[in-house]
Amino acid sequence: MTQFYCLILVPENGQQAPQPLLDANEPWKARAEAASRYLKLRGQRDAIAGPSLLSDPAWDMLLDLFVGHITGRDVSVTSACVASRRPATTSLRYIDRMMKQGLITREKDMNDHRKVYLRMTEKAFRAVAKWVDSLREELMTA
């Protein structure tokens, strides 16, 4: 069975509604799988020296947003904080920094205004996709 993945990219200017991007030529499922596996391995590092020493919360959140973006899973602010494996206050500071750098945006749920979702900008999505491709290529040639 052929599966197609719909990607929603948030425009840089934030004023247009997100448009789906369908591209059957790119291995989005493989990218999502690689990023998910990498996140799982990052979580296992905590057993070595604890989460505070080897922590990289912003990167963990970006990777989780990347996977959510590909799979069509909405990532709430709360979910992103959990993905960072750091306290919520720390995670929220990183979210603010990533917003200021134009990597993510916040979007209120249209049905429940108490919920807020995070979305990657196209700039961040393309950059992370390129990094995941480099990771996969490097691991396959090793």
User: 117 falls in which pLDDT band (50, 70, 90)?
Assistant: very high
d(CA 137, CA 142): 9
- Report the pLDDT value the prediction gives residue 10, as an integer from 0 to 100: 47
- Report the pLDDT value the prediction gives residue 6, as an integer from 0 to 100: 42
Q: State the average pLDDT over residues 30-54.
A: 82
Longest dimension (CA), the chain: 48
Q: Is 12 part of any domain? A: no
Q: State the average pLDDT over residues 38-57.
A: 80
Residue ranges of E strands in the chain: 7-9, 19-21, 75-76, 104-108, 116-120
* Domain encompassing residue 95: 25-141
Check which CATH number belongs to the domain holding 88 and give it. 1.10.10.10
Q: Is 14 part of any domain? A: no
pLDDT tens figures, 123-134: 999 999 999 999
Q: Is 5 part of any domain? A: no
Q: Is 9 part of any domain? A: no
Q: Is 70 part of any domain? A: yes
Q: Is 11 part of any domain? A: no
Number of domains in the chain: 1
